[in-house]
Structure 1
Amino acid sequence: MWRGVVALRIVTFLFATGAVIVQQDDYKRAWLAWTVIGAMALWSVVTSRLYSSEAGRKRWIVLVDLLLTCGLMSLSPWILSDRQLLEWNTPLITTIWASVPAVAAGAVGGKRWGFAGGLAVGLSTYLSKGQMSVDLMRDVVLLAGAGLVVGMAATTARRSAVRLAQALRTEAATAERERLARSIHDSVLQVLARVRKRGLEVGGEAAELAMLAGEQEVALRALVAAAPTESTVDGEVDVRPGLQLLATPRIQVSTPATQVMLKSAVATELTSLVREALSNVDKHAGPSARAWVLLEDLGDEVVLSVRDDGPGIPDGRIADAEAEGRMGIAKSIRGRVASLGGTLELQTGPGEGTEWEVRVFTKAQLA
């Protein structure tokens, strides 16, 4: 796109030079016209070099470009004769060379910058001509529209480039993780699995070591299987890896095969909420209780449930805990859901286990 801006600058400068050659005999001050052409030539060389490199594509440079272009255009009343100023088919001294800053503004700052740059050039054209006409309005609309379209295209191109780079990084990270997974499976995981199996066969103290080896085996498998954490240009992350790392021999985590993208703060809060719920399972359901974490992506909302097979929560126990100053559920679970603008449902009863179901509306949290 910036190469196109440079090419446009060169082509429009050549057109402006040709226009001066054709119109110079009727100018009031032909020497001033050629002075402006010289300044345009010098500035075209400078901006072409600047816009050809990343370091020169700055907003302040484009702003200087716009101001200088409008300044050179404002010299037209001192160059053109009164008859030329009144004639619609006689261009100002800068001619279509003045359209380049609007295009550059769109490329560097997006649609708002492009639209504003086109309006600024159009206003300068009106002030230089000194009268309003249908042709002038047409030029203003074309300038503003060109800046707007280029700005939209530039924004889309930048986002596409960022997403492509992100996809390439994710692909590389996935390939590396798969390589490490194969290596770990052929060495560490097999050793841990053998230690667990042999320890359970021997019994006694070896059985305790077998349980520890089994826990580490599950944790390592979860770590290897977890997707790499990657943030998008909009500040979104995949919530699955944080949940997958919570898996243990007693905790099963189920997530969709595809990414579940949420705002980083929302993903962090949901992971912390699940961690708190699992902590309650460990504290109140006993060491033998099992838990299941299920993540569902329904498009407009994300549903996250945490269920265990413990004894359940007796009626009134949560209210009694809050009265005693224990705010784990009130703040860590209900408070987090409220801050996310989601809904929380609890299903429990004596001997029925406990299930928390959290619903977060993705459209609301992405707004």
Structure 2
Amino acid sequence: MSPRIRGLLSFRAWLKARPQAADALLAVGLLAVGLPQLFLEKLPATPEFERFRDPDVWAALLVAAVTLALTWRRRAPLTVLLVICCGEMALALAEYPPGLPDVAAFLVAVYSVAAYRGLAQSALGGLIAFGYFVTFLLMLPVSSSPLTMITDAALVAGVWVLGRNLRLRRAYFAELEDRAARLERARGTDARAARIEERSRIARELHDVVAHHVSVMTVQAGAARRIIDRDPGSAREAMSTIEEVGRTALSEMRRIVGVLRTDRDAERAGQELAPQPGLGDLGELLDHVRETGLSVQLWIEGEARPPSPGVDVAAFRLIQEALTNTLKHAGPQARAWVRLYYGDGDLTVEIEDDGRGTATFMGDDGAKTGHGLVGMYERVALYGGELKIGPRVGGGFGVRARFPLEA
């Protein structure tokens, strides 16, 4: 880009940032072009034009005042229009001939009042300009034909309509830009909400996996420590179970965190992400729990049907978390029961134990405590289900959730 073009673009940007300076340059330009013409141009030698006075210093001052008023045409367009009308009326009453600067200033003022003010003020300015223009034509000593008057009046009306249309166009584009900005902000808000929800979901999954498997490993490690001297074989078996459960926990954690990987990371890993666990994996979960010494029984009633994928994962995690809490709080002699009821359109999941963990589950004020219970409520609510948690009649603790089969 040449330095000249670059300078012109910089000057244009400077004028755009300072609209009043641009209007002042417009007024000075009209005055510089039109004022010499006012003194140098000779009027036709006809009886009608002989009634005009020759321009003098007072005419030049009036023309300059009328033209330079355009400097404030955007800040106060209606006031500028009134000043120009009064100045041109003074020129007409003094019988000075109309010139290019004052006529052009009048048309620019009509355009400005329509382009930079609302409908009420622009309509008032248009009526004032039209009424003044007709009066000005009638006051001229030069007779005008009806066609000329109609043409001149149409010019004034056209300039007003042009300014009004440009104002509406600017408002339309401003609304489009504002709407685009609002949509961009809304998209950013939705993206942040989605990220927060995804973090919460991953946190729930990690809590369920870590809490369950670490609880199983803790119980097995405690058993191995107690019997390692008198029964080394059983201790080795318990340690093997700890190793297996630890590997399972690592595998599930890799799968959960794997959803954060990009496609390139997945290709680099050379394997696809494994599916989430569901009720089909319930037997394996109960086997892990039984290996800790907790007696768990499973009942399935009704016609078993596969629920939606989300409900499948949520029901499995609910059972996993409830059994984990039983392992941690119910005591060494506790027993647990898991029941699945398949209804016409819903699935009811019950997990109960006869242990002594009620006080640990419940706070002093009876409120549920712990991230695990909060995660249970969030999972069930996410799929439009119902959850009840509390002590059983006769001792122990119970968790009962109802899920719609179709989330």
TM-score (norm 2): 0.41
TM-score by length of 1: 0.45
